């Protein structure tokens, strides 16, 4: 697909994204099939609920679930699915939310899954009128603890798969679902960035939630899939709290197209191309003073790898977070995956690169490391100071 100059027309920086499918960067490069579907749908009238029915069939086909629904985002999907577990198809209860008087409203969730993705996941629960009930402690949750926390007030059990969660000591989904189902409680699984469209539902989740605009390469949307009665109850939230989370015809049509394109995508070819970028980075960066370049797998078993660049601040004369900031501030701006930079490394994700950008990224890293070696101070500012500046900048928006 030909590149446009839309960013320069809007006065935006021409960033190169090696952070991943991050919402703050626009999530993904939308696939041509979805771009066409959005463009073709925008000028036309459609009956939205009938279009949703078409989407349900496409989602069911792609996921192996009974039905599906498109909403504003994966976060919206969490809120609405939990609301559906509380209200069922009762329209009066749907209009009553987020007041849950007379309803089950507790949501059990492992403490190690109580993470954030730009907002706290507990807030997605509270928006539906729900109350989070933590299970276990951050690094150790047990099945008997889950069973103990499920009571007559429990509406749902929420399971999160994400690189942000604790990656050990958690109850596996199959066991989590077994315990919840033994107590008659449905399981809602947040899988926003996961490639596997069928395995989690097969493992016992009653409702699975994906992002339509991350790995799928669709327009901004959340995909809810699962057992038909629960999906129906989730869809009916459009007559209540879901009204503010609705999507337009373009997002529904674009999501259908993205799902169909996913089935036909040459996944092996995509992986081969991404691997070539990683190999290039290892070749260019290995052996440079103060850094170690290592290819690492995705922590949630998605079929992709990333480059981890460890930075020895004394030898490189720059910290990992300073290097990340220099890359982002330079020309062209390169945005890395730096949420763990405090630990002395960041990652570079190859899955959102346009042709020629992998070489540019390598050039920028080499240049910034060379510039840092000319300096005498190994550290200019602490990670704490960096976080404080980011918060201050956010609070000054739109200035």
252-278 confidence digits (pLDDT tens): 999 999 999 999 999 999 999 999 999
Q: How do the residues of the chain divide into helix, strand and coil, expressed in percent and rounded to 5?
A: 45, 15, 40
> What tokens does 20 get?
């991943």
> What tokens does 52 get?
């949703």
378 pLDDT exceeds 70?
A: no
Give how far Cα 230 sits from Cα of 97, 227, 236, 383, Å. 17, 6, 10, 44
Q: For 356, what's the count of Cα atoms within 13 Å in the CB-facing half-sphere?
A: 2
284 pLDDT exceeds 80?
A: yes
> What tokens does 236 get?
């009916």
What pairs with residue 293 in β-bridges? 309
Greater model confidence, 104 or 1: 104
In CATH, 32-264 is 3.40.640.10: yes
Q: Are 1 and 187 in contact (CB under 8 A)?
A: no
Mean pLDDT for all residues in the chain:
93
75 pLDDT exceeds 90?
A: yes
Residue 291 sits at φ, ψ, to 5 deg, of: -130, 150
pLDDT at 2: 62
280 pLDDT exceeds 70?
A: yes
Q: Are 59 and 218 in contact (CB under 8 A)?
A: no
Q: Are 320 and 346 in contact (CB under 8 A)?
A: yes
Distance CA 368, CA 28 (A): 26
Three-state DSSP at 286 gives coil
Provide the 8-state DSSP code for 218. Answer: -
379 pLDDT exceeds 80?
A: no
- Give the pLDDT confidence of 182-202 residue by residue, as tens digits: 999 999 999 988 888 998 888
Greater model confidence, 39 or 27: 39
- Total count of residues recorded for the chain: 399
Residue 331 pLDDT grade (very low, low, confident, very high; cuts 50, 70, 90): very high
Q: Domain map of the chain by residue range?
A: 6-23+267-395, 32-264
Q: For 373, what's the count of Cα atoms within 13 Å in the CB-facing half-sphere?
A: 13
Percent of the chain predicted with pLDDT > 90: 76
Distance CA 343, CA 339 (A): 9
Fold of 6-23+267-395: 3.90.1150
Give how far Cα 325 sits from Cα of 39, 330, 351, 356, 395, Å. 36, 9, 21, 22, 19
């Amino acid at each position: 697909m030909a590149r446009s100059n839309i960013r320069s027309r809007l006065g935006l920086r021409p960033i190169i994204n090696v952070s991943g499918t991050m919402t703050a960067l626009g999530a993904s490069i939308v696939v041509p099939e979805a771009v066409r579907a959005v463009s073709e749908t925008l000028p036309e009238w459609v009956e939205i609920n009938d279009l949703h029915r078409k989407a349900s069939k496409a989602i069911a086909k792609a996921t192996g679930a009974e039905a599906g629904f498109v909403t504003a985002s994966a976060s919206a999907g969490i809120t609405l699915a939990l609301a559906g577990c509380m209200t069922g198809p009762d329209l009066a209860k749907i209009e009553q939310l987020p007041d849950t008087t007379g309803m089950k409203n507790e949501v059990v969730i492992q403490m190690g899954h109580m993470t954030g993705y730009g907002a706290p996941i507990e807030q997605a629960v509270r928006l539906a009128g729900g109350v989070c009930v933590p299970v276990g402690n951050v690094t150790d949750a047990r099945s008997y603890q889950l069973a103990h926390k499920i009571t007559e007030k429990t509406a749902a059990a929420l399971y999160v798969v994400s690189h942000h969660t604790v990656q050990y000591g958690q109850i596996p989904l199959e066991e989590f679902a077994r315990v919840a189902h033994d107590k008659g409680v449905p399981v809602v699984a947040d899988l926003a960035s996961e490639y596997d469209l069928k395995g989690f539902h097969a493992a016992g989740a009653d409702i699975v939630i994906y992002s339509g605009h991350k790995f799928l390469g669709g327009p901004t949307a959340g995909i809810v899939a699962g057992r038909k009665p629960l999906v129906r109850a989730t869809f009916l939230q459009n007559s209540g709290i879901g009204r503010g989370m609705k999507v337009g015809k373009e997002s529904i049509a674009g999501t259908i197209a993205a799902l169909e394109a996913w089935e036909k995508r040459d996944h092996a070819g995509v992986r081969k191309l991404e691997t070539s970028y990683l190999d290039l980075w290892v070749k260019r960066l290995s052996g440079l003073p103060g850094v170690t370049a290592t290819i690492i797998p995705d922590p949630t078993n998605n079929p992709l790898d990333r480059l981890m660049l460890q930075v020895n601040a004394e030898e490189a004369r720059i910290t990992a977070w300073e290097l990340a900031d220099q890359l982002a501030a330079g020309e062209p701006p390169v945005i890395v995956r730096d949420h763990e930079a405090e630990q002395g490394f960041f990652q570079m994700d190859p899955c959102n690169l346009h042709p020629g950008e992998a070489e540019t990224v390598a050039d920028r890293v080499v240049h910034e490391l060379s510039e840092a070696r000319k300096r005498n101070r190994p550290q200019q500012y602490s990670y704490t100071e960096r976080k404080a500046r980011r918060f201050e900048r956010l609070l000054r928006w739109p200035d």
